[in-house]
Amino acid sequence: MSSDKDGAVPGIGAVSSAYSTALAARRRSYGPNTSLSYEQPLMIVRGHGTYLYDDQGVQYLDCVNNVSHVGHGNAEVAASASAQLHTLNTNSRYLHPDLPRYTELLLTTLTATSNNSMSSGNSGNSAGGCSNISDGCDSGGNCIRAGYSGSGTRSSSSNATFPGIQPQSQPQSQRLQQQQKQPPSSSPTISQPSLEVLYLVCSGSEANDLALRIIAAARPGATHIAVMGGAYHGHTSALIQISPYKFWGQGGTGRQPHVHVVPCPDPYRGDNLDGRAAARAALAAAARAGGRLGGFLCESVLSCGGQVVLPTGYLKELYDELRGAGVLLVADEVQCGFGRCGEAFWGFQTQGVAPDIVTMGKPIGNGYPLAALATTRELAAAFSAPGMEYFNTYGGSTAAVAAGLAVLRVIQRDGLQHHAQRVGEYLLSGLRRLRATHEVLGDVRGLGLFLGIEVVRDKASKRHAPATARWLKERMKARRVLLSTDGPYDNVLKIKPPLVFGIREAEVLLGQLSEVLERELTTDVLQQLSQREDEVWGSVYGPRYLQYRENERMLYSGLPPARL
């Protein structure tokens, strides 16, 4: 497409000449299968807190960018990385004091579940650990306090405490404690893995790809992998193969014989809720295919899978069963980690499980490229034993570590985990109220500031409504509130804002969504959308739905699984 000189772009309308120039140049020179969000893409040139600004100075409430975890342009993280970029930014083949300082600190956050240490110091200082960040930012980007103290629908929660970073004595989430019934010393059958070794890499994809390499080294011969339906684990060749979101999604080439897909729990529809049955089915499917499962990868809260919160106990049952069969268990925390879930620092901790490997990415550096993999001493030794060096040019480089350290510091000091829980609960209750009166809002769910709204044709049928979800996203964008859609049927509105998103922002989101639903989603519009749903369902989502159902049937029936 050539540059449009009169300031109008076909299908987009009047824009600035800088916009049309940039759009034309991007279309000319950048990968055509990279995407721009929204029907009319936004040219965003500035960010502050949980707000983004386009080239005309228009402010948007960002409810989407979970990478900018502690806020767009967070001054502390930016200053920390910047200082290091000026001083030294080199690889991990030299010793640097900050690298082990960071790795030990990050590992500390993981020990909460695996050795229950987060439960120590239950001195009830829930108020003391309360957020000292603002409850958001005003329209000019200036921080304000809303003074809201939370709806209190959940019991007291805590932020992970990091030795060395203003340690605070705080209570543990009661729910988390309830789930952790066995202390590690009395573990019933298999000892709980202790995550003591870290690898720093460059992206969540690199972290998950490394997890596959570790599994291959530690479980030679067990070359099959199980994953959750709808999962996306990254963009490398090996990860596309184990991501149903991709291999069953648009342009996908189907399931490889060594990959087994556990049908994703769907608490809203009451499907696939038995973790133990899922594990047994996956083990059996691998055996029928002539292989053996080496690993199981699963996001602790499913993101691309549709913002699905796993049922209480689900992952514990699944882990127990798979661990008994020698399968290595990988918790993918790339999307949901670092306090976002509110009630725990890591998503897997909300399920009371102890993974063998945890992968981390996106929020870890607030946008500075950084990612990590934590594992046990035993698995790291198995990976290292053959003598092949693991080197990652940017992973563990000095400026990345500086960004990572600053992010942890800000999360802890500003109580962002607790803040996420408090604001998330407020938002969730508001969304539930909206759901009660609007037929298309089938389900609202989530943990902390990782929420989803499942959009359906109607509450009775619970049929997926991707066209309506997209329409809502676009209408919200017109009202300067940014959401995205996702899930295997693209019918889930995702809410995963920077964690500095506050009560005030939640009110804006709720207010605008309410207006769209009440004023814009008229009977006429609903009829038009209904027709569009039929079209997209018939051409794309219907066949995909049948693929998933076929997989599910095969997995549980014990028949040889069809290669879908």
Return the residues of window 37-56 that contact a second copy according to CB under 8 A: 37, 41-47, 52, 55
Q: Which amino acid does the sequence have at 480? A: R
What single string gives the DSSP state of each residue in 233-262?
Answer: --SSHHHHHT-HHHHSSTT-----TTEEEE
Compute the distance between CA of residue 244 and CA of residue 215 in angstroms, rounded to an integer: 19
Closer residue to a second copy in complex, CB, 78/130: 78
The CB-of-53 to a second copy minimum distance in angstroms stands at: 8
| Shortest Å distance, C-beta 189 to a second copy | 28
Q: Quick check: 199 binds a second copy (CB under 8 A)?
A: yes
How far is the CA of 121 from the CAs of 117, 155, 176, in angstroms? 9, 17, 15
Q: Under a CB-based contact definition with an 8 Å cutoff, are residues 230 and 487 in contact?
A: yes
Give the contacts of 249 (CB within 8 A, at least 6 positions apart).
488, 544
Q: Side-chain half-sphere of 351: how many Cα atoms within 13 Å?
A: 26
562 near a second copy, rule: CB under 8 A: no
Q: Does 11 bind a second copy (CB under 8 A)?
A: no
- Residue closer to a second copy (CB basis): 79 or 190: 79
Residue 142 is a binding residue for a second copy (CB under 8 A):
no
State which of positions 253-282 bind a second copy (CB under 8 A): 253
Residue 229 or 367: the one with the smaller Cβ distance to a second copy is 367
Contact 117, 158 (CB under 8 A): no
Distance CA 439, CA 284 (A): 40
Report d(CA 336, CA 222) in Å as an integer.
28
**369 is an interface residue for a second copy by CB under 8 A:** yes
The reply on whether position 542 binds a second copy by CB under 8 A is no
**C-beta closer to a second copy: residue 9 or 286:** 9
Quick check: 495 binds a second copy (CB under 8 A)? Answer: no
Q: Which of 135, 239, 231, 215 is nearest to 501 (CA)?
A: 135
Report which secondary-structure segment, H or E, holds 476. helix 466-478
- Treating both helix axes as pointing N-terminal to C-terminal, what angle do 523-536 and 466-478 enclose, rounded to 10 degrees? 130
Among 6, 389, 436, 523, binds a second copy (CB under 8 A): 389
Q: Does 547 bind a second copy (CB under 8 A)?
A: no
Q: Which stretch binds a second copy (CB under 8 A): 146-154, 200-208, 426-434, 501-509?
A: 200-208
238 contacts a second copy (rule: CB under 8 A): yes
Shortest Å distance, C-beta 294 to a second copy: 12
**Least Cβ distance, residue 403 to a second copy (angstroms):** 8
Is 12 near a second copy (CB under 8 A)?
no
Burial of 199 (0-12, 13-18, 19+ CB in 10 A): buried
Say if strands 484-486 and 8-9 run parallel, antiparallel, or are unpaired: unpaired
- Does the protein bind a second copy through residue 73 (CB under 8 A)? yes
CB-wise, 14 or 75, nearer to a second copy? Answer: 75
The contact mask relative to a second copy for 201-220 (x = CB under 8 A, - = no) is -xxxxx--xx-xx--x----
Minimum distance from residue 317 beta carbon to a second copy (Å): 29
Q: Which of 394, 471, 489, 541 binds a second copy (CB under 8 A)?
A: 394
Distances (CA, A) of 208 to 236, 295, 488, 505: 9, 12, 20, 33
Contact characters 427-446, a second copy, x per CB under 8 A: --------------------
Q: Give the nearer residue to a second copy in terms of CB position, either 21 or 126.
A: 21
Is there binding between residue 104 and a second copy (CB under 8 A)?
yes
147 belongs to the binding site for a second copy (CB under 8 A): no
59-62/481-482 β-pairing: parallel
Region of 143-151, 289-297, 361-369, 553-561 interacting with a second copy (CB under 8 A)? 361-369
Taking the C-alpha atoms of residue 15 and residue 485, their distance in angstroms, rounded to an integer, is: 25
372 near 199, Cβ under 8 Å? yes
> Considering the rule CB under 8 A, would residue 97 count as an interface residue with a second copy?
yes
Is there binding between residue 315 and a second copy (CB under 8 A)? Answer: no
> Binding-site residue total for a second copy (CB under 8 A)?
107
